[in-house]
Amino acid sequence: MLQLQTIREKKDEIASALQKRNIDATSLLNGILQLDEKRRATQTELDSKLAESNKISKEIGMLFKSGKAEEASVLKEKTGVLKEDSKRLGEELNAVAEELRHLLYQIPNVPHESVPAGNTDEDNEEIFKEGDIPTLVDGALPHWELAKKYDIIDFELGVKIAGAGFPVYKGKGARLQRALISYFLDKNAEAGYTEMQVPHLVNEASGLGTGQLPDKEGQMYHVGGDDLYLIPTAEVPVTNLFRDEILNEKNFPICYTAYTPCFRREAGSYGAHVRGLNRLHQFDKVEIVRVEHPENSYKALDGMVEHVKYILRELKLPYRILRLCGGDLGFTSALTFDFEVFSTAQDRWLEISSVSNFETYQANRLKLRFKDENGKSQLAHTLNGSALALPRVLAGILENYQTADGIDIPEVLVPYCGFDKID
């Protein structure tokens, strides 16, 4: 959420920057400022009424002590009117504040200056590519056919139990899945991230804090009876560990990693491009989250990008990195780099990680602050990234490592799997 003070001081700059997202926010920003003026005027009037009421209450006490009961009674009537006015103004202030908060939730984060303009994912900027695309054997299969051939993932059984998008991993498929989770967590720990185990359901305040709520795209699963939400990513519970916290500057950097299942409705996702593991309602992901000093957050973002690159090099998967354009940038992000693995059998790129800097956007919602060396309170910067999301990494491994007599396991995963081939 953008800070009101920033909107007051830089309204035109914000409106211009949001045009990269193809959003004309001028009228909305004007509406926010007008409502903020009303809020401040109401607050000033309320403060004045309360101060006058407190002053008169003291006078009443002194009059009673002086035996001037009649004069005290007259003033008591006046305090009654002031209390009614204060109550009315308090209700108005709450209503205006709620309306203002609702409008602020509609403004996305301001894109970083390096974000390219564009409308769709076709306008994203490729900034790096690495790895050789393998030449597959004749008759190479996409991963959903390989899964059936070697009986390692059962999509139809998942449909029977829950519905489309809930696969069942079997035998070596399940062990490879577990191996990837352990490998990712170990790599993150080696890089200085503290492993956490967090809830897989969150309350509304947590969803609001990281920007998943209000849910504009209908992607979150809601447990109505308990008013809880299944997490779409570990980013939500991990980042909310710091909600309403005031940190010390010496605490930075804070680096956490967590494995969780993730749940997304993926409303409106149909077609061949979402077959198999390409798009799921439940999937596993290992996340990295950082809370940083504002002066260091972009250096930290570069470090996160290098970390994911290192993992993909060890897996020996061909990949590329995209800088997302304004039209494809996530609502809460200031700058995002997407990693994509090339699926040789499908002849297309598959997104397997997003690494983002949210600057103060989430921290403002979370009320996540720190004390600087002068004792002044400031908003921290939050960052997160996938390291990594399993389904498409697994799809890339199955397809790119297939041979005429089975599927080889990447060398780095063999100690975790306990086998070097699926046949």
167 neighbors 153 (Cβ within 8 angstroms): yes
DSSP H or E segment with residue 3:
none
Strand order in the sheet with 125-130: 125-130, 319-323, 335-343, 348-357, 381-389, 282-292, 254-263, 194-196
The answer to whether 37 is annotated as binding is: no
The answer to whether 265 is annotated as binding is: yes
Helix (H) and strand (E) counts in the chain:
12, 19
Q: What angle do CA 104, 105, 108 make, to 5 degrees?
A: 90
d(CA 149, CA 141): 10
Residues linked to residue 379 through DSSP beta bridges, in sequence order: 369
Q: In which residue are the tokens 């200056």 written?
A: 113
Burial of 147 (0-12, 13-18, 19+ CB in 10 A): buried
The answer to whether 287 is annotated as binding is: yes
The answer to whether 153 is annotated as binding is: no
Give the chain's end-to-end CA distance (angstroms, integer). 51
Strand order in the sheet with 201-202: 201-202, 228-230, 222-223
The answer to whether 266 is annotated as binding is: yes
**What's the Cα-to-Cα distance from 289 to each of 60, 133, 256, 300, rounded to whole Å?**
57, 31, 5, 11
d(CA 290, CA 297): 9
Burial of 223 (0-12, 13-18, 19+ CB in 10 A): exposed
The answer to whether 8 is annotated as binding is: no
Q: Which two tokens stand for residue 21?
A: 């997202």
The β-bridge relationship of strands 348-357 and 377-379 is unpaired
The answer to whether 353 is annotated as binding is: yes
d(CA 94, CA 98): 6
d(CA 381, CA 103): 22
d(CA 400, CA 414): 16
The answer to whether 9 is annotated as binding is: no
Tell me the binding residues. Answer: 233, 264-266, 287, 351-354, 384
Q: Which residues are annotated as a binding site for L-serine?
A: 233, 264, 287, 384
Residue ranges of the annotated binding site for ATP are 264-266, 351-354
